Amino acid sequence: MTVIEQAGASFSAATRGVAEEAQQVVSLPESVVSLHKVSRRFGETQALNQVSLKVRKGEILGIIGRSGAGKSTLIRCLNGLEQPDEGVIEIEGQRITGLSEKQLQAVRSRVGMVFQHFNLLSAKTVAQNVALPLKIAGMAKAERDRRVAELLALVGLADKARHYPAALSGGQKQRVGIARALAASPALLLCDEATSALDPETTRSILTLLKALNQRLGITILLITHEMEVIKSVAHRVAVIDAGEIIEQGPVWQVFAHPQKELTRTLLRGLLPQLPESIAARLSQQKQGEAIYSVHFAGEEAQGELLTRFACALPGAFRLIQGGVDHIQHYAVVRFFIAIPASNGADEQRVLAWLHQQQAQVEKVGYVASYV
């Protein structure tokens, strides 16, 4: 089945809606990638330490971590450029650890790579860049030309076949990179900081493309990024890696709404509302002026109007300082800061009782002498 036929056959899946597709991922436990206690050391550095991880068929798994955490080493082990010292890696049930270089070549054709800096050959046209892996695989020219035309149409670059990379924008170059990665119909697409060199608008268009490819072709994607927005907008699950170990993993909404580890909270900091600097700088633990509370709630999407209900239920009892509702994978994550006059114990009790009844997490972060 060609790429386009695959896309057509699964097009109806793309129209069923994201919620159902998220369900689909859950109901498809078959793993495309499986790592079992994988370790890799470089001298004194334990780049990967007993990493066990599965990427399920048809899901988008994001991997986040600080610089030097082991993300690239993990990717290099998956495409066979690096061999682990210990542990087992399987791709589509086939063990890839301990294979010869020749055997690894076959494995590599099952894994498409998308790079941060595109890695296109500047002396070759767009079509020739995309055709390269097919040529290496020995595909006949007529078949190759047909496939390249399909792939370029798929990534929206049908009119750029004869252009050279230098004449393309960053986003167009990345589309070529994605078309090339898909050329051999891989089981897995590895995206290594695929949007990190792109501006926000281009990033959005590349993410939309990756999401569409995942939904229409059912391709499994593992993406490594330091951009939490990328994970939030496209990934189904996320794993956090630190010092070569997976320290936390789960559905994106769950990890983003309830990060368990301090590092995860730090990585997600940019997505969370912060107290305005003018208030944070004056925060004290001594009772005075107004009590400042942080409120955190996560639940079904329909519960996203918690903030509105809160304001209607207790008019005038608190002031909203900062925050709002975020929607992740059809869940609402509500985070905000409020101020309550410290002298008004009754209001404080009413507010806390109402929030606790909604099962919101409430934490007093301190006091400020006056709100403004």
> What are the respective helix, strand and coil percentages of the chain, to the nearest 5?
40, 30, 30
| 263 lies in the binding site for ligand ATP (CB under 6 A) | no
Least separation in angstroms between CB 43 and ligand ATP: 6
Least separation in angstroms between CB 142 and ligand ATP: 41
| 71 lies in the binding site for ligand ATP (CB under 6 A) | yes
Measured from the CB atom, is 73 or 195 closer to ligand ATP? 73
| Gap between the Cα atoms of 289 and 197, Å rounded | 47
- The structure tokens 């114990």 sit at 345
Site for ligand ATP in 32-51 (CB under 6 A): 42, 45, 47
| 78 lies in the binding site for ligand ATP (CB under 6 A) | no
Q: How far apart are the first and last CA of the chain?
A: 65
Question: Which residues, 6+ apart, have CB-to-CB distance to 141 below 8 Å?
Answer: none
| 117 lies in the binding site for ligand ATP (CB under 6 A) | no
Helix (H, G, I), strand (E, B) or coil at 175: helix
CA torsion angle 21 26 30 36 (round to 10): 130
Q: Which of 8, 17, 68, 324 binds ligand ATP (CB under 6 A)?
A: 68
Measured from the CB atom, is 196 or 288 closer to ligand ATP? 196
Least separation in angstroms between CB 204 and ligand ATP: 22
Least separation in angstroms between CB 50 and ligand ATP: 15
Least separation in angstroms between CB 41 and ligand ATP: 9
Least separation in angstroms between CB 49 and ligand ATP: 11
Site string for ligand ATP, 281-320 (x = CB under 6 A): ----------------------------------------
Q: Considering CB under 6 A, how many residues would be counted as binding ligand ATP?
A: 11
Least separation in angstroms between CB 71 and ligand ATP: 4
Sheet with strand 290-300: strands edge to edge = 319-328, 331-341, 290-300, 361-368
Measured from the CB atom, is 4 or 243 closer to ligand ATP? 243
| 69 lies in the binding site for ligand ATP (CB under 6 A) | yes
| 70 lies in the binding site for ligand ATP (CB under 6 A) | yes
The answer to whether the beta carbons of residues 348 and 291 sit under 8 Å apart is: yes
The answer to whether the beta carbons of residues 360 and 295 sit under 8 Å apart is: yes
Measured from the CB atom, is 67 or 285 closer to ligand ATP? 67
Task: Quote the DSSP letter at residue 166.
Answer: G
Q: Which stretch binds ligand ATP (CB under 6 A): 70-78, 109-117, 215-223, 271-279?
A: 70-78
Phi, psi of 40 (to 5 degrees): -145, 125
What are the b/e assignments for 245-255, b being 16+ CB within 10 Å? bbbbbbbbbbb
Measured from the CB atom, is 261 or 309 closer to ligand ATP? 261
Measured from the CB atom, is 64 or 275 closer to ligand ATP? 64
Measured from the CB atom, is 130 or 241 closer to ligand ATP? 241
| 73 lies in the binding site for ligand ATP (CB under 6 A) | yes
Chain centroid to CA 144: how far? 32
In the chain, which ranges are E strands? 31-42, 45-56, 60-64, 86-91, 94-95, 111-114, 188-192, 220-224, 237-242, 245-251, 290-300, 319-328, 331-341, 361-368
Question: Which residues, 6+ apart, have CB-to-CB distance to 140 below 8 Å?
Answer: none
| 65 lies in the binding site for ligand ATP (CB under 6 A) | yes
| Gap between the Cα atoms of 178 and 195, Å rounded | 11
Residues that bind ligand ATP (CB under 6 A): 42, 45, 47, 65, 67-73
